[in-house]
Structure 1
Amino acid sequence: MRYFFDIFDGDHWSRDELGVDCAHDMSARHQAVLALTELARELLPPDGSSMELVVRVRVAEATAFTVRLSFDTASGPALSDPAVMER
């Protein structure tokens, strides 16, 4: 079956027009997770800003499922107290 992997990069959607043949939904899920980890490696902000990355997996025009990664950094002593970083 042919699956299409639309990407949300935190700002806009990119529609997959080519797709990939996968044996079943679990294979497509694996491909989506791999794509999401590559996106995270390239796009996650180094300053710790919040971001959400999404891969929407379609079969034709119907959404089969989505894979989502939410990234956020919570403030703590290491981020607010320079003395902590010196230890």
Structure 2
Amino acid sequence: MRYYFDIFDGDHWARDDIGVDCAHDRGARYQAVLALTELARELLPFDGPEKELTVRVRLNDAVAFSVRLTFDTSFGPALTDSSVIERSDPRH
């Protein structure tokens, strides 16, 4: 079966018109998770606001399922207190 992987980068959808042949939904899910981890490497902020990435998997025009990753940085002592950073750093 031919699956299509549309990508939402938090702002815009990019429609996949090429697709990938997979034997079943499990194989398509693996491909979607793999694509999502590659996107995360490129698009997740090192600091700053939250970011949501989604891969929507389609069979022709019917949505089969979606895989979503939400990234959020919560501020706390580890990000603002240098003594916490120094204690947690294995080089110290």
Q: TM-score range, shorter-chain basis?
A: over 0.9
Matched ranges for 1:41-80 at <5 A: 41-80=41-80
Q: C-alpha displacement at 1:48, in angstroms?
A: 4.0
- Alignment-mate amino acid for residue 13 of structure 1: W
Please report the TM-score for the alignment, with normalisation by the length of structure 2. 0.89
Gaps of 5+ in 2: 88-92
Structure 1 distance, partners of 2:55, 2:73, is 22
Gaps of 5+ in 1: none
Please report the TM-score for the alignment, with normalisation by the length of structure 1. 0.93
Task: Report the identity percentage.
Answer: 72
Equivalent residue, structure 2, for 1:14: 14
Structure 1 distance, partners of 2:59, 2:21, is 10
Residue 28 in 1 paired to residue 28 in 2? Answer: yes
RMSD: 1.1
| Rg (Cα) greater in structure | 2
